[in-house]
Amino acid sequence: MLLRPLRSWASRALRRDRPGSPAFSPGPGAQRLVWPRDKGRENEKEKKSVICVEGNIASGKTTCLEFFSNTTDIEVLTEPVPKWRNVRGHNPLGLMYRDACRWGLTLQTYVQLTMLDQHARPQTLPVRLMERSIHSARYVFVENLYRRYRSLHNR
């Protein structure tokens, strides 16, 4: 199953770059590879990773993230679907499923705002696992809505 390799990968990712770990001190004469975004960081404790899990609707993204939710070094942020179902007593998610051409962009605008809130939240743990990135709403869902709308009106 996919979760076993993910768990072993996560444990390796959490162990890397820690004093005393084999990855931290590769041996005499070996150079440590540094990503460009890590250049200039003086404190190793500042290193943090953000991993966004992408996938189709109902493909198991939340289940995968829930698997890691009890891990102490991983912060898990799932999609805030309850927020999308109740906005001052209205259900924009339900409206979008009823009439995507009318409500799709409205929902995706709100999704973008809620995802921005999650991305902007200060990261407290070394690894943050997120369900979808902020770019998904724009480059996947809004693009799809646009193409669908355009194809309906060009008939």
> Tokens at residue 45, please?
């404790």
Confirm whether 131 is a catalytic residue: yes
Measured between alpha carbons, how far is 94 from 75 in angstroms, rounded to an integer?
Answer: 29
Residue count (the chain):
155
> Which residues contact residue 109 at a Cβ distance below 8 angstroms, ignoring those fewer than 6 apart?
none
Measured between alpha carbons, how far is 2 from 133 in angstroms, rounded to an integer?
Answer: 21
> Tokens at residue 86, please?
């109740």
Strand partners, 130: 52, 77
- Selecting among 42, 66, 131, 143, the annotated active-site residue is 131
Measured between alpha carbons, how far is 113 from 109 in angstroms, rounded to an integer?
Answer: 6
Catalytic residue list: 131
